[in-house]
Chains A and B, each alone.
Chain A
């Protein structure tokens, strides 16, 4: 069974600092995709970054980057130069076939 675990229910970071959100997953598949979604209070699901499992190079999108460790089944998100607008729930997700599997989320607070 595929599972996604986010062990940090809440995190906080000072504005302009860097924070890392953890995610581990369990799968027997060899081809899959990993994602980080942001859910602000509006509840809209916003794609932050995605990673193809067959790619060794870590994905980056501006201030957002991932540390993908396939053997360890780990997929952490690093947010650099944190901004107030980054405050939200962050969900790690795994996609195989037609189904997404989401973690339980990490609530990120950005302290001015």
Chain B
């Protein structure tokens, strides 16, 4: 069983370019979460998606950042016109069911380390 896969593992972009980060959830999981880890910090929630729906994007910057989870294919986190402050590790996690009070474990991917020159 393959776990959560993220690619690329490392991504280098120059200021002003676009970054696309991909996340393939565990097979059968229909819920995806994106987190950002800045240097020397813990992970911070960005967005929660189900297939074709954004459920909670309260942690997502209002500009330049977008996320999607199409019916087919991986989830994509897109950062337009990257700036140096976007340099971070971006983690994706997936779970099989919605998490309300009943706990469903989130399985984390290995992360994508974005470096903006």
Residues of A within 8 A of B (CB): 4, 31, 33, 37, 42-45, 47, 50, 52, 91, 93, 95, 97-105
Contact = CB atoms under 8 A, between A and B. Distances in A.
A98 B44 contact: no
13 contacts: A31-B101, A37-B108, A43-B89, A43-B111, A44-B111, A45-B93, A45-B108, A52-B103, A91-B43, A93-B43, A104-B40, A104-B41, A105-B42
Contact of A43 (B48, B56, B105, B113): B113
Nearest to B41: A104
**Cβ-closest 4 pairs across A and B:** A102-B42, A45-B108, A99-B45, A102-B43
A42 B110 contact: yes
B31 to A, nearest CB: 8
A1 B32 CA distance: 23
Nearest to A9: B40
B89 A98 contact: no
Interface of B: 33, 35, 40-45, 48, 55-56, 58-59, 89, 91, 93, 98-101, 103, 105-106, 108, 110-111, 113
A101 B35 CA distance: 10
Contacts of B35: 100
Contacts of B99: 95, 97-98
Contacts of B100: 97
A98 B103 contact: no
Given A45-B108, A99-B58, 13 more contacts: A31-B101, A44-B111, A45-B91, A95-B103, A98-B56, A98-B99, A99-B45, A99-B48, A99-B56, A100-B33, A100-B106, A103-B42, A104-B40
